[in-house]
Amino acid sequence: MAGVGTKEATLGGRAVGKPGFVEYRVEGAYQLGERQGRRVEAFLLAARLTGYVAARRGSVTLWYDYLSGDEAPGTGVNHAFNTLFATNHKFYGIADLFTDIPVHTGGHGLQDAALKLALAPVKELQLALDGHAFRLARRGALPSAHLGEELDLVATWRYGAHLVLSGGLGLVRDGPALRSLGRLDGDLAFTYLMLDARF
């Protein structure tokens, strides 16, 4: 998002705690300055709560992210939060629908409500099942704020310190906002298999 007339800063903080078998994280960030000739006033709020089970071999996480957006992108003050150089793949689903925010949300921001389950039945194997419900922060002139839902299943096998095999399946049910933004035109199934060897 850098360019002529861009001079902005991001300020933020977070609180983390691990009381007993529960872990929480709350964070926020505020962006100000100028982006491509427009004043910027944008923010991010995020909260997650994780409970551990089975001697910490399993976990359940409740997750909510809110990235502010514009009602009328391209006019007035820019309220669209920019994730800059973030690894959005890590946070917003393996199908990579939102790797460039605010571009991939049309400047309308993003809400992500998620439920994440993880289990390590044996030391070398990690299983994760994540469900996301995506909405725009601001609908603007679009017919709906409903972006869609994504369900991800990922398995990771660590064979020693130098070899990791992982695979995943992501299922996306597209919503009216994804279609209006030109991001999807129908449901999506995404799979991958990756071998990471380090010697």
pTM for this structure?
0.91
pLDDT tens, N- to C-terminus, the chain (199 residues) = 455 678 999 999 999 999 888 999 999 999 999 988 889 999 999 999 999 998 889 999 999 999 999 999 888 899 999 998 878 778 999 999 999 999 999 999 999 999 999 999 999 999 999 999 999 999 999 999 999 999 999 999 998 888 999 999 999 999 999 999 999 999 999 999 999 998 7
Kindly state the DSSP code that residue 92 receives in the 8-state scheme: S
- Token pair, residue 19, equals 């009381």
Environment class of residue 30 by beta-carbon count within 10 Å: exposed (0-12), middle (13-18) or buried (19+)? Answer: middle
Kindly state the DSSP code that residue 109 receives in the 8-state scheme: -
Report the distance separating Cα 109 and Cα 138, nearest Å. Answer: 6
Report the distance separating Cα 101 and Cα 174, nearest Å. Answer: 18
Environment class of residue 199 by beta-carbon count within 10 Å: exposed (0-12), middle (13-18) or buried (19+)? Answer: exposed
